Amino acid sequence: MNKSLKVKIAGLCAEIRTEDFEAFSFLRSKFIDFLSDQKKKNLTIEIKGKLPSSSNQSLPRLVFKEGKFYFFLEKNPEISLGHIDLERRNCCISGFEDRYKLLHSVLLYFALFIEKSGGIILHASAAYKNGHGFIFPGPANAGKSTILKQLSDFCPQTEEWTAVKKVGNSFYVWSIPYQNALNKKKKLQYIFFPKKGKLVAFKRLKQGEAAKRLLRNCLFSTMHPELVGKVIAGVAELTREIPCYELEFPLNVRIDREIDNLIESDKKRLNRRRKILPEDFDLSRLHEPLILTWNCNLLCRHCRPYLPQDETLSFSDVKKHLDRLAKNGTLFLHLTGGEPLAHQDFWKVSSYALKKTFALILHTNGTLITPEIGEKLKSLNFLHVFVTVLGGNKQTHDHLTGVEGSFERTISGLRILKENDLDVILSTTQLEENQQEIPEIRELAEKLGVKFRIVPFQTPNKKEYEEFNQCYQKNFQES
């Protein structure tokens, strides 16, 4: 008769079906704390028939072959003991005389799907206190179990195998069934690498070092490159976000107090940091320029000759850039060019960027701004608009932009932006020809009621900027 039980490990629920009563009762006893009555299952395990007993002591491992994962014994790579169908998420295993090989196979199956869903399995003990989860990764004899005994205020969660996975914004710790493992899910706060020593001492590990140590204690369910890559990426993220320490401790001494003190001092530091943006927080890393097009309706002599001709990003390219920037943490998006308003899809781009929750900043020459465009910029919630003015009067400005009438159009643009209650910054570039007029340009800004800023001329690309500078200086010396 078919027997079935549901087991839930690290958030994944598998139904195990077998005709073998012994296999059923053995697995049931091993997973007793991990049984689930959840209706929806993620995985299925079918245990069929029996393999003859063998003296082969090695444990099963997973090998990828022709679209499936097969269980092989390390010392007997000819006979498959079962397979996993990734697409259907089911697994078929032969019943073993050696029940521990069966248990190991079932756990490997879980491990594969935990890794597939972005989790990692660590050779680590774990404990928790006041909702804080702590893990202690290390090889055999590093002190993983010993340390749990010396933490009398902490509740031990597991001694040997731990799963860690990011859910939403946080990392969580689960136990993998093993002796004395409690079926708990805790929010991970700290990683401590235990080291037996003479005194209690904490050494904060840099991310690279912590990742290296963590990788040494990772279980890789298989050597399939995609899954190995996922585990490595998981370790990198984990060590970037969770504080990692080496914890040296002597035997037979309680170390609760020291860990409490460490948490307390870290908390104080965090609280201080959280009131306002920390002083050392580099806001510039949240800013990124996006050159929509090199096209421009002006012919500024310090700029135009050095710009590439007619290069414009298509909307689909822009979308790709924006998706990448959003993912990398860019918050302030500077739309620039050339003249960004000359881009055929400027409004589509701005709407898409708004949807991606960027703060939008426009860098424009202001000549194309009409009342409708002013209203549209306001409705798209532009944070700042920078408008370039190169002279304090029509003569200088029009001379430098190479276009008659550009001064009037730019000033009109500035007025419209101001009327629409946008945060407008009149920005100027200090050039040989206009440096005498900087006070006049500043006055102009004051008259218009907008902010004023002198910006060094630069194309956002560093290499182009350097090339430009060389060219510009050469031309300047020649003239």
Partner 1 sequence: MLSLETIFKKNDKVPWRVIEGEAILVKVDSGEVSHLNEVATEIWQAIDGQRKLSDIIKHIHDSFEVKREEAEKDTLEFLKALADKKIIIAVDPPEKKKIKSK
Residues that bind partner 1 (CB under 8 A): 130-131, 168-170, 187, 240-241, 270, 274, 276-277, 283, 286, 326, 329-332, 354-355, 357-360, 381-384, 423
Least distance to partner 1, CB of residue 210, Å = 15
Pick the closer one to partner 1 by CB: 165 or 399: 165
Neighbours of 321 (CB within 10 A): 18
Pick the closer one to partner 1 by CB: 136 or 358: 358
Pick the closer one to partner 1 by CB: 29 or 357: 357
- CB contact at 8 A, 119 and 234: yes
d(CA 255, CA 204): 17
CA 92, chain centre distance (Å): 35
CA 51, chain centre distance (Å): 45
Least distance to partner 1, CB of residue 32, Å = 24
Least distance to partner 1, CB of residue 380, Å = 9
Least distance to partner 1, CB of residue 147, Å = 22
Least distance to partner 1, CB of residue 22, Å = 39
Pick the closer one to partner 1 by CB: 63 or 326: 326
Q: List, as one string, the DSSP characters of 358-388.
A: PEEEEEE-STT--HHHHHHHHHTT-SEEEEE
Q: Is the dihedral of CA 322, 325, 331, 335 positive or negative?
A: negative
Pick the closer one to partner 1 by CB: 201 or 326: 326
In 144-205, DSSP assigns E strands to: 155-158, 161-167, 170-175, 185-196, 201-204
- CB contact at 8 A, 366 and 387: yes
**Single-letter code of the amino acid located at 467:** E
| The pair of three-digit structure tokens given for residue 343, joined into one six-digit string | 């881009």
- Pairing state of beta strands 359-364 and 90-95? unpaired
Least distance to partner 1, CB of residue 259, Å = 17
Residue 272 vs residues 258, 435, 458: alpha-carbon distances, Å: 21, 44, 37
Pick the closer one to partner 1 by CB: 182 or 354: 354
Least distance to partner 1, CB of residue 274, Å = 4
Which residue, 97, 101, 119, is CA-closest to 110? 119
Pick the closer one to partner 1 by CB: 222 or 239: 239
| The pair of three-digit structure tokens given for residue 14, joined into one six-digit string | 């598998």
Least distance to partner 1, CB of residue 391, Å = 28
Pick the closer one to partner 1 by CB: 32 or 277: 277
d(CA 341, CA 352): 15
